[in-house]
Structure 1
Amino acid sequence: GGKSLPGQDEAKIATSVEKYPHSNALGECVPAWLAFDRKVLRFYAYFQEAVHEKREEQYRIRKCNIYFYLEDDTIHVSEPKYANSGIPQGTLIRRHRIPKSSSNKSQHYTISDLNVDKEVTFYGRTFKIVGCDHFTREFLTNIKLLSRLKPTRPYVKNTALKQFLENDRRVLRFYCVWDDTNTVFGDVRHMVVHYYLSDDTVDIHESIPSNSGRPPNSMFLRRCRLPKHATPGTSSLSPTIPDAYYSDKDFTLGAVLHLNGRPFVICDCDEFTKEYYREKYGLETFDPVRPEDYEETPIEDPVEELAKQTRVWSMVPDTASHPVHEVTKKAFQKTYDGLFLRYLAVLKTSKQVDCDRKFVISLYLADDSVSVFEPHQRNTGIKGGKFLEKNRVKKPDGVSFYESADFYIGAELTFHSHVFIIKSADEYALVFMSQHPNEFPNHNKH
């Protein structure tokens, strides 16, 4: 209110009050500082800061929050503090009315100038607004500024790098049949198809039986992306074409896949593949498909079969005291290939330097082999790392080996003259020992 002083610019200064809704309960006579007391809009933004001291980077992105106070159009900008960032953080611009960089120096920023997907310049520094909180979004909707809430650039939901990091070394295995009896000297050929979840590639190996007259090379198709409708001699398709290549949803039991012009019938899959389809697609039944023209014998992977035989004979500790057939029978009863239990242990010693050392003992259930790892601890003077390579360890008597029954909380284990005391175990190991009392009879006693 009042009249302007001599020489003062009489241009009207725009404020945010013109955009605020007027309530019948409050009336237009209620000032803004009372109607919107302690109401603050928060916008999420960032700005680029030039880097001159390093050649590796030209600029860095710094996140910040812009706070707009409805009561008096004041603004303050702050940057969240991150530990060990090496950059002074905190308040970037203190709370006050920020003037616009225009010919009218008396005009300041109002609510109409702040919105998602807009850029504002405060004292020569440009801020890009990328979002806001829930209260701010509701308030902008009520004052009819929702049309300016343009969505930001959408991010790709599943990039190649994300897919690789989440599914690296995860492979689906399918047992397929290719009926090649229509060709000269053709027969029914069994194939093993591997589908790599990390990059949606496929390779095919043939299960070649003994004395079949075929070359021993089992590689039928090298690892590559497999097009659906391509025939031999055609060029590769573009990865941008939707559904141009086979994906995991196309591999179902009983499905016929046309792999380079050859029909492959999916007959079965391994346990990991079944569990994958249970979790992702909710499938429950996995009945093997056995067409009438194909053999009834299940398809075995020669590599896996050879690995099983190798594990069996490698687990024979002493043929003089353990007959071969007993050890073989016991080895085949071990159905926990790939499973291991972890225990936290300490050294039983009188040396002060070794009293605080901690070790992680891993017990591999397939062959009762043991490995010991020492985690790194700060300010101990000990580097840590691998303490004992994975192998079967003999007991102090030098005759028998440690087995799963010897591992329980409180047990004392002697590995090559080092005495370890098991103090605890992880949650998986505790549950597993409780569910298998025959193999861990001492678990519930201690």
Structure 2
Amino acid sequence: MNPYKSEPHLSKNCDCFDDDLHFFSQSFVKPRGRQQIFDKKDNVIFMKDPLSRPKKKSWEPLRNIPFAEYFDPLHKAALTFTCYLNETDGEEGELLKIRPMKLIYHLDDETMSLTEPFSENSGHLQGRMFHSQKVPRSNRQIGNDFLTWKDIKVGEDLILFGRTYRIVSCDGFTKSFLEDRGIKVLETETIPIDSWNLSRHFQTDKAREAEIKKYFREKEKVAEMISWENIPEFLTFYCAWLDTKSDFYGERIKRTFKLIMSSRDDSITMIEMTPGFGNQLFLKADRLPYITSDGTKKYYRVENMKPGIWIDVYKRPMYIYDCENDATKKFLKQQFGETEFGDCSIQLLEAGPPSEQIEVLPDELWFKAINLDYPSFKFLIIYSILNRRIDIYEEGKHREWTKGRPFLLEIDGGPLREKDFRIGSNISLFKWNFKLTKASQKTLDFIKSRDSVNVS
């Protein structure tokens, strides 16, 4: 007869036993040591996973217990969560500090431990915040005045001794433990990186930084762009032009063209597809110039082109209404999200382009925003259309539309596209919601032009 047959068992996913003969001598408390939370590999700096470094069981006894086989397997188990604390230094200090931490809930005595990993030159004390303490609820309830494991949920905030922590993930044992008890565990969230850590641990050397700044200023090295990994060698579009000067029997002719643009040098080749013209060459491979509203001469680039915009082909206003192959459509969806493709009506060509000639796509969209979590601060949200990155600053206090203290920088826009940014929209980034209240003049002109094209 198996002497352990009557013992309670966990789910197979809960790996809470070990064959190590010395596991009773181990301590759950990590030895004191300074281990960085950032690592560097192949000249790329990234944040380490606090759950996998070092690999330790999510349960380990705190002291020697004889005859452990007579005890419940969950007696000395612990639930492990990853969380972070966001705080501010007030009016003069840093606007946002992100402090990743490890939260442990001990099932045997219903206590909690909170530890912050060491980060070099952080400016504040790190290590053990508290150890094996019962945490009172912020809102007292009848029957239980302390937090339990049922109150810790991934993707929600948790108040510990008056400070709010965001629970972002848990280990495999904790996930299986919660799911076995009918609790749905949400998807793992990412920990934002504040501007100090971004500049301290993720900044490249000066030569590399200068090269990147020069590159963004000149915008000529297309192949190195992060969002252009899958860019095809040629992008193919269809455009239409209403010819009012040829006067074929007193009628205006809708002439259609195939526009082929090279992603290497931004050269454009146009072939006329109008019936009766025999697919003749209209424009040989050359960069296509246009004049901005302030009289500056610029050239159309790959990042400017998409269906739904007007371009100027040597004083001929042409409307891009479709693209040809799957590679072009895939790239456009990657850059701009869902884009409508279809035919071009004669009414749209008769209406012509917007009255004010603006750039096809600005490099950045600037908005003012508010956040209910920071009611006394005014924010600037800057969305880069080129690489789909978002920067958030506090607005300067002396001049309008100037950058103040950084809040979050280099945020991956993910599914957000330029059409999602408009006045009154709510933008959700990590656990914060920002409401866009005002746009800069250049951004406002672009939005009006975009909306006028969509309406027509």
Provide the TM-score with structure 1 as the length reference.
0.35
TM score, norm. by length of structure 2: 0.34
* Structure with the higher strand share, 1 or 2: 2
